Chain A
Amino acid sequence: MSQKPFLRIDNIRKRFGPIIASDGVSLEIEEGEIHSLLGENGAGKSVLMSMICGMVRPDEGEIVFKGQSVRFNSPREAIRQRIGMVHQHFMLVPNLTVAENYILGQGSALRVINDMDKVHARIRELSDRYALDVRPDAIIEDLSVGEQQRVEILKVLFHGIDLLILDEPTAVLTPQETDRLLSLMGDLVKDGKTVVFISHKLDEVMRVSNRISVMRDGRVVHTVNVGETNARELARMMVGRDVRMELPRSPEPPGRIVLSVENMTCRAETGLPAVRRVSLDVRAGEIVGIAGVSGNGQTELSLALAGLLPVDSGRVMLNGKDITGLDPARINASSFSHIPEDRHKHGIVVSMSLSENTVLQRYDQKPFASRGMLNRRVIGEHTRDLIKRFRVKSRDENQAIGALSGGNQQKLVVARELARNPDFILVNQLARGIDIGAMEFVMEEMLKQRDSGRAILLISTELEELFAICDRILVMFHGEILGDLPPDRTRLDELGLLMAGQTEQPALAG
């Protein structure tokens, strides 16, 4: 134990109107450690870290970095002191290249443009050194979430930092990508850097951390060495009760076919083939999972089902009705709910209120509207009801949804989609950013939906999520469905092989 910690946060307070995001929080980070931060959605993790990296200014309290009291007015000032953060929600300009994003706001543009070759070279060098696979001239829009994540990490490394803060970096990653990231964190520490890691996944936290701090209601309530604790105890510290990792399931046999996809083919926005002759059925009272490394056509499959991407060939039937190529309005109206993969792109309008976001699809339908006017009282009541039922931590229903913590945004999206009483629910990443307590709750809700006869297609890169609630698991690889397995943990190896595209038998959907 050193007498002088690398970073000391002392009694910091931060309020947003009536909401207390940091309630006198204190925390010490030591040099060269990986320090994990746990806590329920809205506990104040992101806000605390945003204060360290200059995004948000504390109301009270002190931040001491390398023995000096610091006060940053902008992330740039923090970067200059060698503190960098990768945010939970990406901060990249979508229509610029990687390199352009990196130099954005970095002093004289002219000078930088002259040095563009150097910038590219440095990006390539860092990318090789940490095996990040980032091309400096790639356009952000064209990248998958996992790739964007690596671009964000490389961005911080590019500017040169000693303290790296990663806010839920693994929420959007596949298990393979996560493994890569965790070992990257190890490499960074070997290079003399210090890492603060926020995650809701206890196994990852147990794997990489030296020390773990748990936050609750804007305060750090426990800090423990990793050797002195276990996942179960951590969960209890966070949520205040035992969390069930296995959910009971009723053995009802599935009913009629609700969604049926026949030989569907479609291309990604880039024009490249993404989904190749996929066929699958989802029955009432059944949760079908699709596992796979991201970028294997799952995004396009879900967008095409939702009418957001044209279907080149094949058919999609919902409740016996052909919905191929219909526009999203008509698909939504056919008892179809969709929890989208990219929350900020499709799922919500960040600057609109919770109320407005809960009626995104039904803004012109009774009882939320009558004679062309919004019925604000009914919308407000409905939203308050969802907030209560799904325990969305928020000031009130009029707050902008962008001001909510990431997990709480997701809870509202889930709440909205389930409240529409669908026959079929398409889910792409269910628990993205949701804490373990809320995850248990959301999964229970999904199982309730299943038991009440809904058909659910759950696309996920989280095997845990799939094993916990699916009735069967399909594997997607290179746009094809490669296998159909029961959620049997003993067949994990087989699943892993399929996800890597290795199969002895010919593709089932071929």
Chain B
Amino acid sequence: MAQVNQGVRETVYPQAAQPLYRTLSQIAISAVTPIAAVLVALACGAALLWLNGFNGSDIVTVMIFGSFQDMRSVGEILLKATPLILIGAGLCVAFRCSIWNIGAEGQLYVGAIAATLVGTNFDGLSVWVHAPLVMLAGALAGAAWAGIAGYLKVRFQASEIVTTIMLNYIALILTSYLVTGPMRDASAAYPQSARLIREAWTPRIVSDMRLHIGILVAIVLAVALYIFLQRSSRGFALRVVGLNPHAARYAGMQVARNVMIAMCISGAMAGLAGAFEVAGVTHRLYQNISPGYGFEGIAVALLAGNNPLAAIVSGGLFATLRSGSEVLQITSQVPQVLVLVIQGIVILSVVAFAKLRDILRIVA
């Protein structure tokens, strides 16, 4: 993953600042390549279904159009897109700083725990106070959880790949412990926490749909992170640290501090995603509140070329595929393993298309 050779002149330099028209064409390329990647993956998936005796063309109709039947299904896609965009955009920041945070899943869980604690207590606050407080709690907890790995990296040079994965396990087991033990709702048969106080719930956009304002928060934050990376002094330092830590040190940048910041931003985004799952969707904490959003978020960021703005598009795409594969399972009886294979193909073609995007950028 590290950029091995700094000296190759034929390499393309996509991260350089650009005038507006070039920025726009690059964003267009960033947005088009994920779509192309998905199309290729779908074609492969169709072939795979056909080989297994299913109707291959189903995959397109079901996975893409099947998901967009009505407003409600679109709402469901956006609901799934919310954590993916949040986590994906956050990971873009970490990856740009060359921090390989694999721990978004754990950070999400810790965020969910914190959100549950705040959301089940403090009765009597208004929704204007309580709902944001829950989000804040989730974000802070996620940031702190990621901060542990960040601290271990800057203090002891411990690989964040290893520590964040280990922290994932700790967070998952901690959640199990809490919902089966101290935080368990004694009246329920199934291990779950008490229900969040109404005022702590994330407000919905339309009252009869599950979609909540988290999607708007996610989009706003993704845009904000894009501006942060490209336009702010701190974002600049993060990018320099990520591209060439030696030059960063030469220039007087605090490498350790920037690593911590990048780590905590990505953790906060994942923690916030966890808070939204609890406060916006389930309203209770469960053992398996996330179907792997933290890991899928890595693919979202990669597909977006580590550009938070493009993460909005790629997050939406992954959400569409996720809904689509659910529909596919129900309507066509395609086994879930096959659906997982198709998702795997998507990620592989992402990698291939990321390369293609770099080539396109020379032309642009």
Residues of B contacting A330 with CB < 8 Å?
Answer: 252
A350 is contacted by which of B7, B231, B250, B254 (Cβ under 8 Å)? B7
Q: Is the CB of A346 within 8 A of B247?
A: yes
Q: What does the 1/0 interface line of B229-249 toward A look like (CB < 8 Å)?
A: 001111011011001101101
Across-interface contacts of B17 in A (CB, < 8 A): 352-353, 355-356, 376, 398
Nearest-neighbour CB distance to chain A for B273, whole angstroms, equals 26
Q: Provide the residues of chain B in CB contact with A400, threshold 8 Å.
A: 13, 16
Does A399 sit at the interface, judged by CB under 8 A?
yes
Q: Which single member of B14, B16, B237, B246 contacts A398 (CB below 8 Å)? A: B16
Residues of A within 8 A of B250 (CB): 306, 308, 328, 338, 340, 346-347, 360
User: Is A46 engaged at the interface, CB distance under 8 Å to the other chain?
Assistant: yes
Chain B residues, Cβ within 8 Å of A361: 251-252
Residue of chain A at shortest CB distance from B364: A17
Chain B: CB-nearest residue to A362: B251
CB of A341, distance to nearest CB on chain B (Å) = 11
Contact A345 B246 (CB under 8 A): yes
Q: How far is the CA of A349 from the CA of B254 in the complex (A)?
A: 16
Q: Is A348 an interface residue (CB 8 A)?
A: yes
Per-residue contact bits, chain B 6-33, to A (CB 8 Å; 1 contact, 0 not): 1111110111111100100000000000
A24 to B252 Cα, complex, angstroms = 45
Find out whether the CB atom of A349 lies under 8 angstroms from the CB atom of B252.
no
> With an 8 A cutoff between CB atoms, is A93 at the interface?
yes
Supposing A328-B251, A329-B252 touch, asked if A353 and B16 sit within 8 A by C-beta, the answer is yes
Secondary structure at the B interface, as helix, strand, loop or mixed, is loop
Task: Report if B69 contacts A (CB, 8 A).
Answer: no
The docked-state distance in angstroms from the alpha carbon of A374 to that of B233 is 5
Inter-chain contact B9/A351, CB cutoff 8 Å: no
Contact flag A332-B251 (CB < 8 Å), given A349-B244, A351-B243, A374-B232: yes
Tell me whether B4 is interfacial, beta carbon within 8 Å.
yes
Residue of B8, B9, B237, B246 most packed against chain A (CB within 10 A): B9
Q: Which of A24-55 contact B (CB under 8 A)?
A: 46, 50, 55
B13 touches A402 (CB 8 A): yes
User: Is the CB of B64 closer than 8 A to any CB of chain A?
Assistant: no
Complex formed: what's the CA distance from A331 to B232 in Å? 24
Q: Which residues on the A side are within 8 Å of B213 (C-beta)?
A: none
CA–CA, A330 and B251, complex, Å: 10
Asked if A90 and B16 make an inter-chain contact with CB atoms under 8 angstroms apart, the answer reads: no
Question: Chain B, interface size: which category?
Answer: 35 or more
**Cβ B9 vs Cβ A403 within 8 A:** yes
Most chain B beta carbons < 10 A, residue from A349, A361, A374? A349
Q: Does A89 contact B (CB under 8 A)?
A: yes
Known A329-B253, A347-B247; contact A372-B233, beta-carbon cutoff 8 A: yes
The CA-CA distance from A359 to B253 in the complex, in Å, is 12
Look across to chain A and name the residue whose beta carbon is closest to the beta carbon of B2: A95
Q: Cα distance A350–B236 when bound, in Å?
A: 14
| Docked complex Cα distance between A85 and B107 (Å) | 49
Q: Least Cβ distance of A57 to chain B in Å?
A: 9
Q: How would residues 332 to 347 of chain A score, 1 for a CB under 8 Å from any chain B CB and 0 otherwise?
A: 1100001010001111
Q: How far is the CA of A482 from the CA of B59 in the complex (A)?
A: 78
Expressed in whole angstroms, the Cα–Cα distance for A355 and B13 within the complex equals 14
Closest to B244 in A: A349
Provide the residues of chain A in CB contact with B126, threshold 8 Å.
Answer: none
Determine if A349 and B243 form an interchain contact, defined as CB atoms under 8 angstroms apart: yes
A48-96 interface with B by 8 A CB criterion: 50, 55-56, 87, 89-91, 93
- Which A residues between 356 and 378 are near B, CB-CB below 8 angstroms? 356, 359-361, 363-364, 369, 372-374, 376
User: Binary interface profile of B, 276-294, with partner A (CB < 8 Å = 1, else 0)?
Assistant: 0000000000000000000
Residues of B within 8 A of A137 (CB): none
By a CB distance below 8 angstroms, the chain A residues around B8 are 89, 91
Q: Which of A308, A329, A350, A364 has the most CB of B within 10 A?
A: A350
Task: Verify if B187 is at the interface (C-beta below 8 Å from A).
Answer: no
A340 → chain B closest CB, angstroms: 6
Complex alpha-carbon distance, A273 and B48, angstroms: 63
Number of contacts between A and B (CB, 8 Å)? Answer: 124
- CB of A233 closer than 8 Å to a CB of B: no
Kindly list chain B residues whose C-beta atoms are within 8 Å of the C-beta of A329: 252-254
Measured between beta carbons, the chain B residues less than 8 angstroms from A50 are 9-10
Instruction: Specify which chain A residues have a CB less than 8 angstroms from the CB of B333 in the assembled complex.
Output: none
Q: Tell me, yes or no, whether A385 is within 8 Å of chain B by CB.
A: no
- Nearest CB in chain A: distance from B22 CB, A: 8
**B3, B19, B232, B243: the one within 8 Å of A352 (CB):** B243
| Chain B positions 208-238 with a Cβ under 8 Å from a chain A Cβ | 231-234, 236-237
Residue of B nearest to A95 (CB): B4
For B233, the chain A residues whose CB sits under 8 A away are 363-364, 369, 372-374
A327 within 8 A of B: yes
B234 touches A360 (CB 8 A): no
Judge if B157 is at the interface, Cβ distance under 8 Å.
Answer: no
B207 contacts the other chain (CB 8 A): no
A219 to B165, CA, bound (A): 56
Instruction: Specify which chain A residues have a CB less than 8 angstroms from the CB of B244 in the assembled complex.
Output: 345, 348-350
Let me know if B231 and A398 touch, CB within 8 A. no
Contact B234 A372 (CB under 8 A): yes
Taken together as a complex, chains A and B put the C-alpha atoms of A369 and B13 apart, in Å, by 24
A331 and B252 alpha carbons, distance in the complex (Å): 8
Contact B247 A349 (CB under 8 A): yes
Q: Once the chains are docked, how many angstroms separate the CA of A333 from the CA of B252?
A: 9
Measured between beta carbons, the chain A residues less than 8 angstroms from B240 are 349, 352, 356, 360, 363
In the complex formed, the residue of B with least CB distance to A348 is: B247
Residues of A near B239 (CB, < 8 A) are 352
Min CB distance A102 to B, Å, is: 15
In the bound complex, residues from chain B placing their C-beta under 8 Å from that of A87 are 7, 9
B7 engages A91 (CB within 8 Å):
yes
- Indicate which residue in B3, B9, B16 contacts A89 across the interface (CB closer than 8 Å): B9
B106 to chain A, nearest CB (A): 29
Separation in Å of the A354 CB from the closest CB of chain B?
Answer: 8
Complex interface: chain A residues within 8 A of B11 (CB): 351, 402
Which residue of A is nearest B235, CB measured?
Answer: A374
Instruction: Identify the closest chain B residue to A306 (Cβ).
Output: B250
B176: min CB distance to chain A, Å = 40
A327 to nearest B CB, angstroms?
7
Per the bound structure, the CA–CA distance linking A331 and B16 in Å amounts to 28
Give the residue of B3, B18, B19, B237 whose beta carbon is less than 8 angstroms from that of A364.
B237
Question: Please, which residues of chain B bring their CB within 8 A of the CB of A376?
Answer: 17, 231
Assembly CA distance A338 to B18 (angstroms) = 28
CB-contacts of A279-326 with B (<8 A): 306, 308
* A332 with B234, Cβ < 8 A, contacts A93-B5, A356-B17, A402-B11 known: no
Interface centre among B3, B240, B244 (most CB of A within 10 A): B244
Chain A residues positioned under 8 Å from B3 (CB to CB): 351
Using Cβ atoms and an 8 Å threshold, which residues of chain A touch B15? 351-352
When chains A and B are docked, how far (Å) is the Cα of A258 from the Cα of B18?
Answer: 40
CB distance from A93 to the nearest CB of B (A): 6
Beta-carbon contact of A332 and B9 below 8 Å:
no
Q: Other than A331-B252, A344-B6, A356-B240, give 14 A-B pairs with Cβ distance below 8 A.
A: A89-B6, A91-B7, A308-B250, A345-B6, A345-B247, A350-B7, A351-B16, A352-B13, A352-B17, A361-B252, A372-B233, A372-B234, A400-B13, A402-B11
Sorted nearest first, the 6 A-B pairs with minimum C-beta distance are A400-B13, A329-B252, A89-B7, A353-B16, A364-B233, A346-B250
Query: Would you list 15 pairs from A and B whose C-beta atoms are within 8 A, ordered by A residue?
Result: A89-B7, A308-B250, A329-B254, A330-B252, A331-B252, A333-B252, A346-B250, A349-B244, A359-B236, A360-B240, A360-B250, A363-B237, A374-B232, A399-B16, A402-B13
Q: Which B residues lie at the A interface, using CB under 8 A?
A: 3-11, 13-19, 22, 231-234, 236-237, 239-240, 243-244, 246-247, 249-254
